A and B are shown apart, each in its own frame.
Chain A
Amino acid sequence: MTRTPRTAAAAALAAVLALSAGCASKTDDGTGGSGKDGDKSTFTIGYSQANNAEPYRAQLNKQLRYFAKQHKNIKLLPIADAEQDNARQVSQVQQFIQQKVDVLIVSPNEPDPLTPAVEQACQAKIPVIILDRDVKTDCYDSFIGGDNYQIGKKAGEAAIKALPDGGNVAEIRGLLSTDPQKQRHKGFADALKGHDDIKVVEQREGKWLQPEGTKIMQQWLQRGTRIDLVYAHNDPMAIGAQSAAAGAGKAKDIDFIGIDGLAIPDGGIRAVQQGKMIATYLYPTGAEEAAETAAALAEGKSVQKKQTLDTTEITKSNAEDVYGRYDMSKKSG
Chain B
Amino acid sequence: MTDTLPEQTQNGSPDVRTRARRLLPWLGSLQSYIGLVLIVAIGIATQGDTFLDQTNLTNAVGNFASRGILAVGVTLVILTAGIDLSVGSLLGFASMASAMMLANHDMPVWQIVPLCMLIGAAFGFVNGVGTSVLRIQSFVMTLAMLSIARGLDRQMSDNQSVGTTVAGPDGKLTENAEAFQSLGTPGHNVGVGFLGPDGVYYPVLAFVVVCVVFHLILSRTAFGRHIYAVGGNPTAARLSGINVTLVVIAVFTLSGMLAGFAGPIDAAYSVSADPQAGNTYELDAIAAAVIGGASLAGGKGTIIGTFVGALILTLLDNVLGLNAVSDNWQLVIKGLIVVVAVVLQRPGLLRTLRHRLTPAEKETAP
Contacts and interface: CB of A to CB of B under 8 A. Distances in A.
Interface of A: 2-3, 5-6, 9-10, 13, 17, 52-55, 57-59, 61, 176, 202, 204-205, 209-211, 214-216, 218-219, 222-224, 236, 239-240, 243-244, 246-249, 264-266, 270
Contact of A53 (B85, B154, B317, B322): B154
A2 B296 contact: yes
B187 A249 contact: yes
A332 B47 CA distance: 55
A240 B59 CA distance: 14
Contacts of B160: 55, 58-59, 264, 266
A175 B188 CA distance: 29
Interface centre among B143, B160, B188 (most CB of A within 10 A): B160
Contacts of A3: 283
B contact face: mostly helix, strand, loop, or mixed: helix
A54 B290 CA distance: 31
Interface centre among B158, B162, B327 (most CB of A within 10 A): B327
Contacts of B274: 55, 209-210, 236
B139 A9 contact: yes
A58 B143 CA distance: 25
A54 B322 CA distance: 30
Nearest to B166: A265
Chain B: interface size category: 35 or more
B143 A6 contact: yes
B321 A58 contact: no
A214 B60 CA distance: 11
B185 interface: yes
Q: Which 7 A-B pairs have the closest CB atoms?
A: A247-B187, A247-B186, A58-B159, A266-B163, A205-B327, A219-B321, A218-B59
A17 to B, nearest CB: 7
Contacts of B286: 2
Interface in B178-197: 185-188
Contacts of B85: 6
Nearest to A53: B275
Interface string B147-164: 100100010001111110
Contacts of A264: 160-161
B104 to A, nearest CB: 11
Contacts of A265: 103, 162-163
B53 interface: yes
A204 B321 contact: yes
